[in-house]
Amino acid sequence: MSLHKLRKVVAAAILLLSLGLLVWAILPNKREVAMLVLPPIEMWQSSSGQEIAPAILETRRMRLEYPESLRIGDQGVILLNLETVKEDPSSPVIQNGLSDAYNSYNVMAEAKFEVAGVRVEPANPTRVSMPPGQPVRFKWQISAEQAGAYGGNVWLSLRFLPLDGSTPTQKPIYVKEVGIKTTSLLGLSGTTARLVGGVGVLLSLLLVFNDMIDWWKKK
């Protein structure tokens, strides 16, 4: 085989390998979505000791979105949204035995994603105020340095802060097990694969640059 043909074969091999790396490193990861409707009976302050329990007298929809898989070295995002559901007038919310918690409490939502072997930001529980009718949103950024399967849990609680300054109470309202698979290609992270793939494409083009110029001149 002549040097000219060998250069073309090498360039084609490098190009195919580089494109494979780029495709793997660029394709978006599949995401999972979990939905749950939370009626008032799920959002009441159970340890108040009152005959009529204070509760959030509105139905809320919880939406959890997370990556099913993630390339090592890349950053993934977990989103948790808690939004008010508009009630159908023909189907009123059952509120027997419940009173409006906002009359006596400031209410906060607290969430946390717990998982071993994965970097999570923020790592500590996050609390946000939950005014009546307003959406609540949480966001975590995750990444891993080793390929493998990781299982964790997303926790969501309501924190009731009495307006009279007495001791706050907390009620868990949702827990979801989340499984995330982290992958690598030839031991490469997503960032490294994109870099190597890009350099490989440029190198393959340089190897046949003169051939491309000659082909263009003959057109």
Tens-digit pLDDT string for the chain (219 aa):
677 677 778 888 888 999 999 999 999 989 999 999 999 888 888 665 666 788 898 999 999 999 999 999 999 999 999 999 876 554 444 566 788 999 999 999 999 999 999 999 998 999 999 999 999 999 999 999 999 999 999 999 999 999 998 899 999 999 999 999 999 998 899 999 999 999 999 988 887 766 666 656 666
Q: CA angle, 47 as apex, 41 and 52 as ends, to 5°? A: 55
Beta strands 126-129 and 148-162: pairing type? unpaired
Fold of 3-218: Immunoglobulin-like (2.60.40)
C-alpha to C-alpha distance for 30 and 64, rounded to whole angstroms = 14
Residues 102-115 have pLDDT tens digits of 999 999 999 999 99
Amino acid at 117: G
pLDDT confidence of residue 52 = 78
- 70 close to 30: Cβ distance less than 8 angstroms: no
Q: What is the pLDDT of residue 73?
A: 92
The C-alpha atoms of residue 167 and residue 171 are separated, in whole angstroms, by 14
Say how far apart CA 81 and CA 36 lie, in whole Å: 11
d(CA 95, CA 42): 11
Q: What Å distances lie between residue 55 and 84, 118, 167, 182, CA to CA?
A: 14, 35, 17, 40
Per-residue model confidence (pLDDT) at position 44: 85
Give CA–CA dist 19/181, Å, rounded: 23
| pLDDT at 142 (0 to 100) | 95
- Count of C-beta atoms within a 10 Å radius of residue 175: 11
- Output the pLDDT for position 72: 94
Domain residue extents for the chain: 3-218
Q: What is the pLDDT of residue 90?
A: 45
Per the CB < 8 A criterion, the answer to whether 143 and 77 are in contact is: no
Per the structure block, which two tokens stand in for 140? 């975590």
CA distance 29 to 33: 13
Q: Assign residue 165 a region: left if phi > 0, alpha if psi is -120 to 50, beta otherwise?
A: left
Question: How many C-beta atoms lie closer than 10 Å to residue 13's C-beta?
Answer: 12
Cα angle 7, 9, 11 (rounded to 5 degrees) comes to 65
94 DSSP assignment: P
